[in-house]
Amino acid sequence: MSENADFVPLLLDWFAQNRRDLPWRRTYDPYGVWVSEVMAQQTQMDRVAVYFERFTARFPTVAALAEADETEVLKAWEGLGYYSRARNLLAAARRVMAEHGGRLPADFAALRALPGVGEYTAGAVAAIAFGRDEVAVDANVLRVLARVCDIDAPIKEPAGKAQATTLARELLPPGRARDYGEALMEFGALVCRPRTPDCPACPLAGHCAARRLNIVPDRPVLSKSKDITPLDVATGVLVHAGRIFIQKRLPKGAWANLWEFPGGRIEAGETPEQAVVREFAEETGFATRVETKLAVIRHGYTTYRVTLHCCLLRLTDLPEAAPPPEPTLTAAQESLWAAPDELSRYAFPAGHRKLIEQFGESLRRPGEARPLLDLSAGGDDPPRTPSTGKV
Ligand code: SF4
């Protein structure tokens, strides 16, 4: 047992008095715990609570989720980003129906075998939903343990993570896995925060090695930061006869099955306007011209900094009164000409959704002047395939 074990009762006391009232904590229904844990990866808890209520109102049980089609699930997930999580939830729900009689298994190994369920999620669901003596080690837990127990290995690398996981297991009070796991995460989120730990008011201060050694700013030890690559991309909102062209991305790769406005990476020597016209020709066969530039949307990912230039486009060789033409698709599985009011039915990447939200009204009246906006988009997939340049 670690010499730091004394802090655990204090941590549990703190949690008993400070735990947030989050919707899945009212019943600890395993399905709700599972959905919340999947949502909480990459997303702040306050936002998770809002999305959780909406998602579980639409899909209240494993069975309801398993019966949904992917389009509905992606739409309910829109705004949370990292859409592979939603696809895996759906696949796992169907597996639970087929192999576990519609009830999530309590056993760590059985949970771990479900699509998209890694060590963290399996540990969290086993501990929090079923009270099994398992641990779930997320970034909050890593940080708290690195500080309280003075872990001096880079915390996100295998050796540091293994050290923290071993410690978390050693410190787990048998039978208290739910409270212990939630308390560590909650404490990391609310008190032992990444850049602003509240050491003066911390109930664990007397047991914290980093505090005692005056090395809190040096814990956890971080890996060398990766270089950030700037990426300039262009996208076009093509309007014709009062309708807007959108296409559904291919079923594999980045943002699979999401809808988008066509576009892509700006090549060396190109302006954004030239790039979007070229991309449209390559992806749809349409000849277009830029009527105006709508917005510049910026978004940061782990290793990329994306600047998305958004343009309003018109067809060059078709009168406005002519019916919308059929595209020749090369980068999408289907397309349609949507009325502006219909765009809300489809799931888009965050940058494109932001564009729709900002320009929803003016896209209904595309002849009017629009300001050029500079926006930041939040919560979306990283560009796993940077050459696609979608944000
Ligand atoms: S004393 Fe500071 S660094 Fe140590 S556990 Fe408390 S908040 Fe974290």
**pTM score above 0.85:** no
The H or E element containing residue 332 is strand 332-338
According to CATH, where is 1.10.340.30 located in the chain? 7-218
Ligand 1: lining residues by beta carbon, under 6 Å = 147-148, 191-192, 197-199, 202, 204-205, 208, 210-211, 216
Superfamily of domain 229-388: Nucleoside Triphosphate Pyrophosphohydrolase (3.90.79.10)
326, with CB counted inside 10 A (0-12, 13-18, 19+), is exposed
Query: What does the alpha-carbon distance between residue 137 and residue 122 come to, in Å, rounded to a whole number?
Result: 11
- Reported in sequence order, the residue ranges of the chain that DSSP labels E, i.e. its strands, are 229-240, 243-249, 259-260, 263-265, 288-300, 304-315, 332-338, 373-376
The answer to whether 110 touches 92, Cβ cutoff 8 Å, is no
Which residue's C-alpha comes closest to atom 4 of ligand 1? 208
Query: What does the alpha-carbon distance between residue 101 and residue 95 come to, in Å, rounded to a whole number?
Result: 9
Probe ligand 1: pick from 171, 191, 213, max atoms within 8 Å of CB? 191
Q: Give the architecture-level CATH label for domain 7-218.
A: Orthogonal Bundle (1.10)
Give the list of residues 6+ apart from residue 375 with CB closer than 8 angstroms, or none. 295, 296, 297, 298, 354, 358
Ligand 1 closest atom vs CA 197: 7
Distance 17 CA to ligand 1 centre (A): 18
pLDDT in tens, the chain (391 residues): 445 668 999 999 999 999 999 999 999 999 999 999 999 987 888 889 999 999 999 999 999 999 999 999 999 998 888 888 999 999 999 999 999 999 999 999 999 999 999 999 999 999 999 999 999 999 999 999 999 999 999 999 999 999 999 999 999 999 999 999 999 999 999 999 999 999 999 999 999 999 999 999 999 998 877 778 888 999 999 999 989 999 999 988 878 889 999 999 999 899 999 999 999 999 999 999 999 998 888 877 767 788 999 999 999 988 888 888 999 999 999 999 999 889 989 999 888 888 888 776 666 555 554 545 554 544 444 333 333 434 4
Distance 208 CA to ligand 1 centre (A): 6
Probe ligand 1: pick from 148, 149, 212, max atoms within 8 Å of CB? 148
Three-class SS state of 311: strand
Distance 139 CA to ligand 1 centre (A): 15
Three-class SS state of 312: strand
According to CATH, where is 3.90.79.10 located in the chain? 229-388
Give the list of residues 6+ apart from residue 99 with CB closer than 8 angstroms, or none. none
User: Per the residue annotation, which of 37, 182, 273, 283 is the catalytic one?
Assistant: 37
37 is catalytic: yes
